[in-house]
Structure 1
């Protein structure tokens, strides 16, 4: 099944290896190290921006992070480390799924360009 972002139910085949166009979402703000660049594919954005669903790709670097709303992420490629402000460490490898609750604060370090399928609600 090929990717069809204009379908009545948009779908993306093989998110880990998707080679279609990605929209430039810019660099991560306030970098701690590196110059992480984000891009992705938006599948859906509802009224008031909720929910937002898509594919996000990010290059290596470290930055502070605060999650504004509940966000479910299924990481399909790459490696990263998320460190909560309490010191808890979450290691990301392909196949990891994380639910970041609204207000989660910490840092993200991308070690190897990563991709995740996400839903921000």
Structure 2
């Protein structure tokens, strides 16, 4: 999407094709050779950020911040704090809390819209 005029800067393109893929730190990789890319869409003067995040096939662990996200495409298993993994796919809504320890096992490249707070 392109803004209708230069004065209107609230419409953003969510195409991540130009965002570079970044390898995940080896210490966090659980399986395969996953990488991620992020397109920052919004950042407030306060602690709120929104964007598009993608992860390629593979598995990696992370320590989360407060986040809500909507899975837009792909398929994965998500384990939170050593609980059994749950299957997530397009349409899944996920809530994460700061400090949650997660393992993302991506079966089909995952794309999500996220909103995080970093208080």
**Same topology, TM > 0.5:** yes
Greater C-alpha Rg: 2
Distance 1:78 1:107 in 2: 16
| Aligned pairs for 1:64-83 within 5 A | 64-67=61-64, 69-83=65-79
Unaligned runs of 5+ in 2: none
Q: Which runs of 4+ in 1 moved over 4 A?
A: none
C-alpha distance in 2 between matches for 1:96 and 1:89: 14
Q: RMSD of the alignment, in Å? A: 2.1
The answer (yes or no) to whether the contact 1:63–1:108 under 8 Å persists in 2 is yes
Q: How many residues align?
A: 112
Q: TM-score, normalised to structure 2's length? A: 0.80
Q: Structure 1: give runs of 5+ residues left out of the alignment.
A: none
Q: Which residue of 2 aligns with 1:31?
A: 29
Residues 25-67 of structure 1: per-residue CA shift (max 9 Å, x gap): 511222111111111311112337x211111111011111210
